[in-house]
Each structure stands twice: as C-alpha cells, then as structure tokens.
Amino acid sequence: MDILQILLSESFWAASLRIATPLIFGVLGALICEKSGVLNLGIEGIFVAGAMTGWMAVWLGAGLWGGVLFATLAGGFFGLIHAILTVPLGLSQHVSGLGVTLFATSVSYFSYRTALPTVTSPPRIEPFRPLDIPILSDLPFFGPVLFQQTAMTWLALFMVGLVWYVFNRMALGVAIKAVGDNPNSIDAQGLSVYAFRIGSVVAGSALMALGGAFLTMSAFDAFFFGMVNGRGWVCIALVIFASWRPGKALLGALLFGAFDALQVRLQTEVGALVPSQVFLAAPYVLSIFALVIVARSADYPRALLTPWFKGQR
C-alpha cells in the first residue's frame, strides 16, 4: 500500500519531526506552567509574539541566535503579565490567559504593521539551515531524519531532556511539583509560593515563544498573519494527553507531527476522493479525540486553576 511506503520514507519522518518541533516547545512550556498550578491560555498569543519578535530581531540584524533570545524575552514578558494577574492577584486563569493571547497577538500584529506599513509580500530572512554533521548525516534513514534538522529542533529535543531532569532529579523541580499539588507545603517551609509560580509561568512562556520563533526562523523565513493557526491550543490538549510528563509530551508532539505529515501526503494520494478540508481538520479532530480518551484518567496537578493567597490557609 501507498501508506506503508509513506511511513517508511525518510522524508516523512523528517517532516514529522519538523512539524513536531514548535509543538515540543509549546507542550513543554505549558507543562511547566501547569505543573506549578497555572493554566496558561496565553500560549496562542505567545506563539505569535515569539514568531514576530524572533523574525523581527533577525530582520533588524540581531542574528539568528539574537532572534531566539528576543523571542524568549517576549514570551517571558507576556508570561509575566499572565503570572501577575493569576498568581498574586489570583484572577481567573482562563480569562487572563485569553486576555494575554488577544493582547500578545494584537501587539505583535500592530508592531509588525507599524514597522512595515506598506509591504505587500512579507520580507524574508535567512533562516536556520539544517545542521549537516559529517558522517552522521550520511547514515541510512537516521541520517536524513535526525541530522537534516535545524539547530532549533535539536534545541527542542535537548529541552525535553532538560525539563525531565529538572523535574526528576533536581530539588527545584520537586518544589515546583509540590507547589502545583499543595502550595501550603512550600509556604510551610518559608518559601514563596508566588516566586515558584511566577517563575514557572515566565520560564514556560519563554519556551512557548520559541515554538513561535521556530515557525518564522526555521520552518519558514517570514512572518504571516494567522500563521500560528491554533498550534498553541493544540499544545494545551497535548499536555493533558501527555499526563504532564516531558517524555510523553515529546511522544504526543511527534504523533501529532506524524499525523500532520501523513495528511499532507495522503492528500496528494487520494485528494480527488476526499475534500482537502477533511485532512486539514484531521489533526484538530485528533487532538480532541486524544483529550477525550485520556481526560478521565488524567492526573491533573491538584492545585491547577486554584489561586492561593498568602496568609489565608
């Protein structure tokens, strides 16, 4: 069958990993926020902000890694707004997150339009190139799949390991898990619940922004309106699917990437029989399915969505 051929092709798996990369950043970012007890629906807007800021920084001459840096700063900034509204002020995490998404999106669009008022076709930058590692890149199958990815994909994979290490091997990660389960456990030790939560949301948001930056600096070479197109929301679904585990988050992002890559290829195969929108909508439908399957058994951080106020135990 054709599907088998697709599944065995190197280009399919290389594409899957490429499509998964922004999701890996996004899921990890959302995971860090939620582990500390804060749902961050600002993710969609933070993706946009990361995409715009990273691209703009490169376009203004900051260099690719400069772009990465500015994207994380932008993500951290919008994360800080969400953190202040939801952590010390304890406001609705749902509404604040949506507010941050609207705000970050409109700030990004407004800045882009103000900087480039009249261009018809978006200006291009020189994006990240695939890392070509001698010998390794020539390995059959694994060579093209792994070693033709850009540095940002490698960064995403490294982040999976790093986040796992922090949560499973470091006192810091244990403390964040404790804050997301029972903030009083941290407060009783004289540590600041606010500091852990704000820190986690800012760090998680910075990571989310890298997901956006990948779009403009690695997957494409320009910024378009509407280019994030719900990827942030998909990440929120994937975190639940991953039961807040970094390893499973990688798996979830890869599955989604593979499915997305598959639908593009299937479209060319059987596009005449099935409307293209079916394929385009399929990844979103899949996300809802994944959510429904795991929802009942999901191991929510106990304190998720619950504000905590100092001195009110």
Partner 1 sequence: MIRIEPRQSSSALMTYGIPVFSAVISLLLAAIPLTLSGAPIGASYFEMFKGVFGSKFAFSEMLTRATPLIFTGLAAALAFRARLWNIGAEGQLYLGAMGAVAVGTGVFDVSGMFLIPIIMVMGCAAGASGMVIPTVLKTKFGADEVVTTLLLNFIILFFLQYMLEGPLKDPMGLGWPQSSPILDQGMLPTLMDRMRIHSGLIIALVCAVIAQFMLVRSVWGLKLRAIGENASAARHAGIRVNRTLMSAAIVSGALAGMAGVSEVAGLKGYLTSDLSPGFGYTGIVVAMLAGLSPLGVVAAAIFIASVFVGADSMSRAMGVSSYLEDLVVSTSLLCVLLGGFFARFKFVRVTQKKEVMQ
Partner 2 sequence: MPAIIQMNSRKVLALNGLSKTFGSVVANRDVSLDLYRGEVLALLGENGAGKTTLMNMIFGHYMPESGSVDIEDASGVLVPLSLGNPQAAIAAGIGMVHQHFALAENLDALDNIMLGSERLNGLRRYKAAARDKVQEIMKESGLSAPLTVPVGRLTVGERQRIEILKALYRNVKILVLDEPTAVLTPQEADTLFKNIGTMTKSGLSVIFISHKLREVLAFSHRIVVLRHGAKVGEIATSQADESKIARMMVGAETEEHTRELMLPGKPILRFERVSAAGRSRRESLERIDLVVNKREILGIAGVSGNGQTALAGAISGMLGLNSGDILVDGITIKDGRPSVMVDAGVGRIPEDRHRDGIVGAMSVAENMIIECLDDQEVQRYGLLKWDAIQASAEKMSVEYDVRGPGTQAPARLLSGGNIQKLILARVFKRKPKLILANQPTRGLDMGAAADVAKRLLEARARGAGVVLISEDLDEILSLSDRIMVIHDGQLTLAKTRDRAELGLLMVGDAA
User: Which C-beta is closer to partner 2: that of 7 or that of 298?
Assistant: 298
Concatenated DSSP letters of 266-301: HHHHHTTTS-HHHHHHHHHHHHHHHHHHHHTT----
Instruction: Confirm or reject binding of residue 270 to partner 1 (CB under 8 A).
Output: no
What CA dihedral angle connects 203, 32, 93 and 213, to 10 degrees?
A: 50
Classify 69 as helix, strand or coil. Answer: helix
User: Which C-beta is closer to partner 1: that of 222 or that of 298?
Assistant: 298
Candidates 236, 242, 249, 253: give the one binding partner 1 (CB under 8 A). 236
Q: Which of 80, 53, 50, 74 is nearest to 231 (CA)?
A: 50
- The interface mask with partner 1, positions 86-125, x = CB under 8 A, is --xxxxx-xxx-xxx-xx-xxx-xx--xx--x--------
Instruction: Confirm or reject binding of residue 20 to partner 2 (CB under 8 A).
Output: no
CB 299 within 8 A of CB 180: no
Tokens of 13: 């798996």
CA dist., res. 204 & res. 218, Å (int): 21
- The site partner of 3 among partner 2, partner 1, none (C-beta below 5 to 8 Å per kind) is none
User: Which C-beta is closer to partner 1: that of 5 or that of 276?
Assistant: 276
User: Which C-beta is closer to partner 1: that of 36 or that of 86?
Assistant: 86
Total residues contacting partner 1 by CB under 8 A comes to 48
16-24, 159-167, 213-221, 277-285 -> range binding partner 1 (CB under 8 A): 277-285
CA dist., res. 310 & res. 313, Å (int): 8
CA dist., res. 180 & res. 85, Å (int): 17
Binding site for partner 2 (CB under 8 A): 169-172, 174-175, 177-178, 180-182, 184-191, 299, 301-302, 311, 313
